[in-house]
């Protein structure tokens, strides 16, 4: 009997192994029971892969000597790429290249801009430093896209899908740089084609000026995929506000970089005159007429006429990595600088609004009697976190729904509602000033990230940043704690004992009948 029983156990084990092997080969599916569907590809990703009309080659550069903390990430990357490859049905090819010494893979990685990383690790009670590569590149026809460093699994899907969109799209989106109201689009010493903004966006977008002249405004041409409104100094009259409103109602994004308080070269302040806050309030956003100070401050230089000095300047807020929200539009950003920034008020508990950039918890606000002297003794008031940039997406109603339309547009087809509005509001325009942005390149990286996210042809908002969910224990009453404690002490042994007695009773009856 024992011989037969052991053979049955062996046969059962072999069947389980065969079933597991069959599931890996013939049934490449998985059951995702996570609450945020962390291991399931989004519909947008499936659509992008399904629309591929030629082969995409993905080359992964990985060193054998990666630290142990990267081994799980490498396995997750393999599983992820395999799922992409199977879904593409032959349109995606994956090559794993081992980078060791000075082999061809290392040389190719260096040409593509994939850096050699330095890892520190403790093994066998010794501190060790090693070097290696862990990045990849995608190739499609004559286009390529590089992810130089793979750092975490949580945002792989967004990085991969957005990169696929970049290299497979046939035309660059046209972005309109709005002028006509004193916007400072480029520096006085550079032509538009040579501007820093054009150089930063030119690889992914076609940047064209769009003039909204007072009393001569017309609806935005269809060729524009997005608009940039950066630092207007003059009032937007009703006609121009209507043009912006109708552009949003088409589901096309506008990125507003606006000042709540204007600061001139002599550090004198004045109330911003653009009057765009009246438009934004109709959508639920409010740009405050204040200035935020933060001990997390950038170094600013000031010229006294006799000398130039450098000092940490709390009015120039240095955003730390934790100041960015967990959102695809800000993923990977490590910092930026917002000079003379105003805060933004958002509706509470409304999922259409997403803060993108926050100050530190030690920041404070000044709302009048502004003193911008960099040598003053700073008087800290109530400290708290302020929203400095926010995204509004989803279903919104036109700001002109219950108002008479401007007479110039009465014959136009009025759109009073959209379920796909995309609007970015940043409480500062100086961050994109030609001279300042040249010193703080991450400011342009933020603009490029958000613009790529908002103009994606597919709905990349479906792809969430899939972080590990925090699952804090729920608070329970002392009585419940006592029940659980004594239930664990007495209950578990009791269950085991009853189970053992039941098994012994069953075996005795079985042997009696045999």
Report the distance separating Cα 21 and Cα 384, nearest Å. Answer: 56
The CATH number that applies at residue 452 is: 3.40.50.880
Report the distance separating Cα 357 and Cα 326, nearest Å. Answer: 10
Strand 174-179 relative to strand 206-211: parallel, antiparallel, unpaired? parallel
Cβ atoms of residues 82 and 48 within 8 Å: no
Closest CA to 248 of 227, 277, 232: 227
Give the CA-trace dihedral at 308, 312, 317, 323, to 10 degrees. 140
> In terms of C-beta density within 10 A (0-12 exposed, 13-18 middle, 19 or more buried), how is residue 17 classed?
exposed
Domain check: are 63 and 209 in the same one?
no
Per the domain annotation, does 513 fall within a domain?
no
Q: Which of 462, 482, 501 is the last residue of a domain?
A: 462
Helix, strand or coil, per DSSP, at residue 229: strand
Rounded (10°) angle between helices 156-168 and 68-88: 50
Per the domain annotation, does 78 fall within a domain?
yes
The tokens describing 221, both together, are 């041409």
Report the distance separating Cα 510 and Cα 488, nearest Å. Answer: 33
Per the domain annotation, does 290 fall within a domain?
yes
Report the distance separating Cα 289 and Cα 293, nearest Å. Answer: 14
Per the domain annotation, does 1 fall within a domain?
no
Closest CA to 341 of 374, 300, 386, 311: 386
Neighbours of 385 (CB within 10 A): 15
Domain check: are 152 and 267 in the same one?
no
Domain check: are 219 and 350 in the same one?
yes
The tokens describing 329, both together, are 């539009």
pLDDT at 51: 85
Domain check: are 190 and 306 in the same one?
yes
Domain check: are 106 and 222 in the same one?
no
The tokens describing 378, both together, are 């700073």
pLDDT at 93: 94
Domain check: are 84 and 105 in the same one?
yes
Cβ atoms of residues 95 and 37 within 8 Å: no
Stretches where the chain sits below pLDDT 70 are: 1-9, 19-39, 120-128, 185-194, 217, 411-412, 457-475, 511-514
Closest CA to 332 of 173, 471, 505, 449: 449
**Residue recorded with tokens 């919104």:** 396
User: 362 is in which domain, residue-wise?
Assistant: 174-462
Closest CA to 424 of 447, 442, 443, 401: 447
pLDDT at 189: 41
Closest CA to 96 of 130, 132, 60, 68: 60
**Model confidence pLDDT, tens digit, residues 258-271:** 999 999 988 999 98
The DSSP bridge partners found for residue 21 are none
The sign of the dihedral angle between the CA atoms of 493, 496, 497, 498 is: positive
Q: What is the DSSP letter of 168?
A: H
Give the CA-trace dihedral at 270, 433, 356, 169, to 10 degrees. 140
Report the distance separating Cα 378 and Cα 381, nearest Å. Answer: 10
Domain check: are 119 and 233 in the same one?
no
Q: Which of 462, 477, 506 is the last residue of a domain?
A: 462
Report the distance separating Cα 80 and Cα 107, nearest Å. Answer: 26
What's the structural domain count of the chain?
A: 2
Report the distance separating Cα 456 and Cα 217, nearest Å. Answer: 27
The DSSP bridge partners found for residue 310 are 301
Closest CA to 351 of 396, 415, 397, 399: 396
Domain check: are 228 and 89 in the same one?
no
Domain check: are 195 and 302 in the same one?
yes
Report the distance separating Cα 138 and Cα 56, nearest Å. Answer: 7
Q: What is the DSSP letter of 490?
A: I
Neighbours of 482 (CB within 10 A): 10
Report the distance separating Cα 297 and Cα 313, nearest Å. Answer: 6
Domain check: are 455 and 355 in the same one?
yes
Q: Where on the phi/psi map is residue 489: left (φ > 0), alpha (ψ -120 to 50), or beta?
A: alpha
Domain check: are 121 and 191 in the same one?
no
Per the domain annotation, does 19 fall within a domain?
no
The DSSP bridge partners found for residue 58 are 94, 138
**Model confidence pLDDT, tens digit, residues 282-329:** 999 999 999 999 999 999 988 877 788 899 999 999 999 999 998 888
Domain check: are 189 and 222 in the same one?
yes
Rounded (10°) angle between helices 43-50 and 156-168: 30
Per the domain annotation, does 490 fall within a domain?
no
Helix, strand or coil, per DSSP, at residue 135: strand
Cβ atoms of residues 269 and 279 within 8 Å: no
The CATH number that applies at residue 155 is: 3.40.30.10
């Amino acid at each position: 009997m024992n011989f037969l029983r052991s053979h049955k156990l062996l046969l059962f084990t072999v069947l389980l192994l065969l079933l597991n092997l069959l599931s890996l080969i013939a049934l490449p599916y998985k059951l995702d029971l996570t609450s945020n569907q962390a291991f399931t590809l989004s519909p947008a990703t499936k659509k992008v892969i399904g629309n591929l009309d030629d082969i995409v080659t993905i080359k992964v550069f990985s060193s054998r000597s990666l630290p142990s903390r990267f081994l799980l990430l490498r396995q997750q990357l393999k599983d992820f790429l395999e799922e992409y490859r199977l879904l593409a049905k032959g349109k995606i090819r994956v090559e794993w290249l081992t980078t060791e010494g000075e082999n061809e893979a290392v040389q190719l990685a260096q040409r593509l801009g994939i850096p050699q990383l330095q890892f520190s690790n403790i093994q066998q009670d010794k501190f060790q430093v090693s070097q290696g590569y862990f990045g990849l590149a995608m190739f499609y026809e004559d286009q390529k896209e590089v992810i130089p460093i793979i750092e975490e699994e949580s945002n792989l899907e967004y990085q991969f899908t957005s990169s696929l969109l970049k290299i497979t799209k046939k035309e660059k989106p046209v972005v309109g740089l709005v002028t006509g109201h004193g916007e400072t689009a480029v520096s006085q010493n550079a032509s538009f084609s040579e501007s820093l903004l054009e150089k930063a966006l030119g690889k992914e977008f076609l940047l064209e000026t769009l003039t909204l002249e007072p009393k001569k405004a017309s609806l935005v041409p269809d060729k524009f995929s997005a608009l940039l409104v950066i630092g207007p100094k003059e009032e937007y009259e009703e006609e121009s506000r209507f043009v912006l409103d109708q552009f949003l109602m088409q589901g096309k994004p506008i990125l507003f970089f606006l000042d709540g308080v204007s600061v001139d070269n002599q550090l004198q302040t004045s109330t911003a005159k653009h009057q765009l806050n009246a438009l934004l309030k109709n959508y639920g956003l409010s740009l405050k007429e204040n200035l935020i100070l933060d001990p997390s401050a950038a170094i600013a230089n000031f010229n006294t006429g006799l000398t130039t000095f450098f000092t940490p300047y709390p009015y120039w807020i240095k955003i730390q990595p934790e100041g960015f929200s967990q959102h695809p539009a800000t993923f990977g950003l490590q910092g930026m600088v917002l000079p003379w920034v105003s805060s933004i008020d958002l509706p509470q508990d409304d999922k259409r609004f997403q803060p993108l950039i926050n100050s530190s918890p030690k920041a404070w606000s000044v709302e009048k009697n502004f003193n911008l002297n960099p040598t003053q003794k700073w008087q800290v008031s109530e400290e708290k976190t302020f929203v400095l940039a926010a995204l509004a997406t989803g279903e919104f109603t036109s700001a002109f729904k219950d108002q008479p339309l401007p007479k110039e547009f009465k014959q136009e087809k009025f759109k009073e509602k959209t379920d796909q509005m995309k609007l970015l509001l940043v409480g500062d325009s100086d961050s994109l000033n030609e001279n300042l942005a040249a010193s703080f390149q991450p400011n342009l990286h933020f603009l490029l990230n958000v613009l790529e996210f908002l103009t994606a042809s597919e709905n990349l908002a479906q792809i969430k940043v899939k972080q590990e969910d925090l699952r804090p224990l729920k608070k329970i009453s002392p009585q419940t704690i006592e029940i659980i404690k004594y239930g664990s002490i007495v209950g578990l042994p009791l269950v085991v004992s009853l189970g053992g007695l039941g098994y012994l009773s069953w075996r005795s009856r079985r042997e009696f009948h045999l």
